[in-house]
Every structure is written in C-alpha cells, then in structure tokens.
C-alpha cells in the first residue's frame, strides 16, 4: 500500500490497481463542518491537477483535484447522505472516489507522509 499527498491537500492510497482519493485531515479542519459533497461518476476520466469533486462546508466551497491521471471506478455514495464523514474520518470512510491510474509513475512526484507533514508545518 502506497499513500501520497498533494500540495492541494488531497491524499491518494494505492492498493493493487485501485487508488482511493480523499482530502487530508488538515484540509477538512480548514474547511470546517462539511455540508455537501459531489463526487465524480464511475467512468469519468480525470487529469492530474484538474477538478474531480466538490466539497462544501459552512465556510466555503472548494474543488477537490485529481492527484494523478486516471478513470473513476466508484464515487463514495455514502457522502451524499452523510457528508460529515469527511470531518469525522477524512482518511477512512470519508474518501471521495476510487480510480484506476493511467500513469502510476505520477505518484512518484507526490509527497510521502513525512514530506507532507513538513509541508503543512510550513504553512
């Protein structure tokens, strides 16, 4: 299992051929109480750094970007009824979508957990 992070505070966890994507604990704290999440449909092609999902909180609406190129295999349907899962379990049940990767080598350019922690401390 490989977990990587983006400077936009998305995480991506690769298990076998499937990658799960969500927002980090730092991002959900910055957003505040999440009230709405729009996840992409299965089959949608995503490009690294481009819009993939939407998250709205009591403070703001924000885009969630694709950390790598790939195709969505599943959106987290549970978030439609329970968007607060993003606040209570951002790196678990609060995941946004699963995808297959078009170019797995793109993961190499993303931060590992230690690098991400250092990045957040510098903000």
Question: In the prediction, which pLDDT does 119 show?
Answer: 98
Closest CA to 18 of 110, 100, 114, 92: 100
Residue 80: is its pLDDT beyond 90? yes
Is residue 89 scored above 90 in pLDDT? yes
User: What's the confidence (pLDDT) of residue 1?
Assistant: 81
Judged against a pLDDT cut of 90, whether residue 111 lies above it is answered with yes
| CATH number (domain holding residue 70) | 2.40.50.100
Residue 68 lies in a domain: yes
Q: SS3 of 119, please? A: helix
**113 lies in some domain:** no
Q: Identify whether 19 is part of a domain.
A: yes
| Burial status of residue 77 (CB atoms within 10 A of its CB: 0-12, 13-18, 19 or more) | exposed
Task: Give domain status of residue 22, yes or no.
Answer: yes
For 58-73, the pLDDT digits (tens) are 999 999 999 999 999 9
Q: Is residue 61 part of a domain?
A: yes
Do 106 and 68 meet the contact criterion of CB atoms below 8 Å apart? yes
Cβ contact 79:86 at 8 Å: yes
Determine the pLDDT at residue 69.
98
* pTM, to two decimals: 0.97
Residue 69's domain comprises 2-103
For residue 82, being part of any structural domain is answered with yes
Domains identified in the chain, total number: 1
Q: Which residues contact 65 (CB under 8 A, 6 or more apart)?
A: 6, 8, 10, 49, 50, 51, 52
């Amino acid at each position: 299992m490989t977990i990587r992070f983006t400077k936009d505070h998305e995480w991506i966890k690769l298990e076998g051929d499937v990658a799960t994507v969500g927002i980090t604990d730092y991002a959900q704290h910055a957003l505040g109480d999440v009230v709405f999440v729009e996840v992409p449909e299965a089959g949608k092609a995503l490009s690294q750094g481009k819009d993939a999902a939407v998250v709205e909180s009591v403070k703001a609406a924000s885009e969630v970007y694709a950390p790598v190129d790939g195709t969505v295999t599943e959106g987290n349907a549970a978030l439609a009824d329970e968007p607060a899962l993003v606040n209570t379990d951002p790196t678990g049940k609060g995941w946004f979508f699963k995808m297959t990767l078009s170019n797995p080598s793109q993961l190499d350019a993303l931060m590992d957990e230690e690098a991400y922690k250092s990045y957040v401390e510098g903000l």
